[in-house]
Amino acid sequence: MDDIYTLQEFMLHTKSITYILMGLGVLALCWYWWFLSAKDREQNNVW
Amino acid sequence: MSDQPQQTGKPGLITPFNVFAALVLVIGAYLTFVRFTQGLGGLTNLNDNNPWGLWIGFDLLCGVALAAGGYTTSTACYVFGLKRFHAAVRPAILTAFLGYAFVVFALHYDVGRPWRLPYPIFVSPGTTSLLFEVGLCVFLYLTVLFVEWVPAALEWLGVKKPRDIIVNRLTLVLTIFGVVLSTMHQSSLGALYTIAPSKLHPLWYSQYLPLYFFISSMFAGLSMVILEGTLSHRYFHHLMDEEHKAGYNDLILGFAKGASIIMAGYFIMKLMGISADNNWAYLGTGYGLWFLVELFGFVALPSFLYAIGVREKNYKLIQWTSALSVFGIVLNRFNVSLVAFNWQLPAADRYFPSWGEFGISIFIVTLLILVFRFIVTRMPIFYEHPQFKDSHH
């Protein structure tokens, strides 16, 4: 990790990672819901 | 009450549980005497560094989180219209009511002058304090839960009119009021710890603590309803009517599905909390390892096990997972309030509960179970009272 000297650098660093994690998290949650509901869809013949 | 489910094979008074409970009550009575004659110092290991100990960490934080089944179940049934969960509402409300009632009861042991507990509400409200908000919400929500539970008692006593007023006119209002109050105080309990950033370990301290406490209370409540239902089906099966028995499998599938997705969201939020405060480096320490055990072992794992249980319709797996989740919530509240709190103090100054504190906590849980048993064996909790059938919401 590059050295962080100012609050601006800290915020840029942490927020950049957090926003990437948020995006991945939303995708992961969508996939997880799909995984969780697979049997329901199978039962109702909805895909 | 001849139409109610038959109580077959009623056990005698001398059972292993009753003997154990009697022993706990005797020891609890003695410890209560010690607490109120010799003060907090006579029984606890609390000190100026650690004024909040096991009784706050377990009796209050865990008690409130695990009593969240009341608002989650009634919201699912009355707000979201999932009427198939109706049979679970009364047991969940009773568990929540007793949970909160015993939180307040336990608080009498923990505060220095328990007779002044009503002061913050009626005499000297400290409206800028988070504790005031927690106290007011718990006071109001306990009242709401009492009113929600009262119809069962009124049906038992055969009192029709007040029961009809509550059930027909107040149910939805009380449910909405309960959700609002729960949202406020569940999160405020987490917010309490944001006033101690230098005392709480960075991995557990976060600006999102209120959110963590609220979100985790949701899956704690759902898991607790599954666990309580499982135990009730084992020990009070003979008291249940057909609606209760028939809807049980559907209930645990629905609740496990809800708990699974909420836990997955909570897991992601915890990761974002580490990221927002740039606490990655702490994960390589001993505390970091413990944090990962909590996060993966008691959030990610139960979430995944619930998902497998729901997909495979594996009810046993869901039931065991609910116990794991409940344990995980207890662990989380212990970590925030005890393990990660005052983490920088030397070992000699760290807090570990005394035997007396453990004894009082066990005493209170036993008392709760006894009151729960007293109520469900007498009042229409697991079945609909024959005189009031089809008059439910």
Tell whether A7 lies on the interface with B, counting CB pairs under 8 A.
no
Kindly tell me if the per-residue pLDDT of A47 is higher than 80: no
Interface test with A, best of B219, B255, B257, B268 (most A CBs within 10 A): B268
Per-residue confidence (pLDDT) for residue B2, from 0 to 100: 43
Tell me the helices (H) and strands (E) count for chain A, helix number first.
Answer: 2, 0
Interface test with B, best of A7, A18, A37 (most B CBs within 10 A): A18
Of the pLDDT bands very low, low, confident and very high (cuts 50, 70, 90), residue B238 is: confident
Give the residues across from B200 on adjacent strands: B341
Rounded to two decimals, the pTM is 0.91
Of the pLDDT bands very low, low, confident and very high (cuts 50, 70, 90), residue B112 is: confident
Tell whether A35 lies on the interface with B, counting CB pairs under 8 A.
yes
Mean pLDDT of A28-46: 85
Mean pLDDT of B210-220: 95
Is the distance from CB of B59 to CB of B103 less than 8 angstroms? Answer: yes
DSSP of B2-20:
TTSPP-TT---S--HHHHH
Kindly tell me if the per-residue pLDDT of B393 is higher than 60: no
pLDDT in tens, A4-33: 899 999 999 999 999 999 999 999 999 999
In terms of C-beta density within 10 A (0-12 exposed, 13-18 middle, 19 or more buried), how is residue B69 classed? buried
Measured distance CA(B217)–CA(B68) in Å, rounded: 6
Helix, strand, coil % (nearest 5) of chain B?
75, 0, 25
Global ipTM: 0.90
CB atoms within 10 A of CB B207: 12
Per-residue confidence (pLDDT) for residue B84, from 0 to 100: 86
Of A14, A32, A39, the CB nearest to B264: A32
Measured distance CA(B239)–CA(B179) in Å, rounded: 29
Measured distance CA(B193)–CA(B175) in Å, rounded: 28
Per-residue confidence (pLDDT) for residue B1, from 0 to 100: 42
Percent of chain A with pLDDT strictly greater than 70: 89
In the block, tokens 């009031």 appear at: B388
CB contacts, 8 Å: A38 with chain B: 311
DSSP, res B263 = H
- List b or e across B104-136, with b for residues whose CB sees 16 or more CB atoms inside 10 angstroms: bbbbebbeeeeeeeeebeeeeeeeeebebbbbb
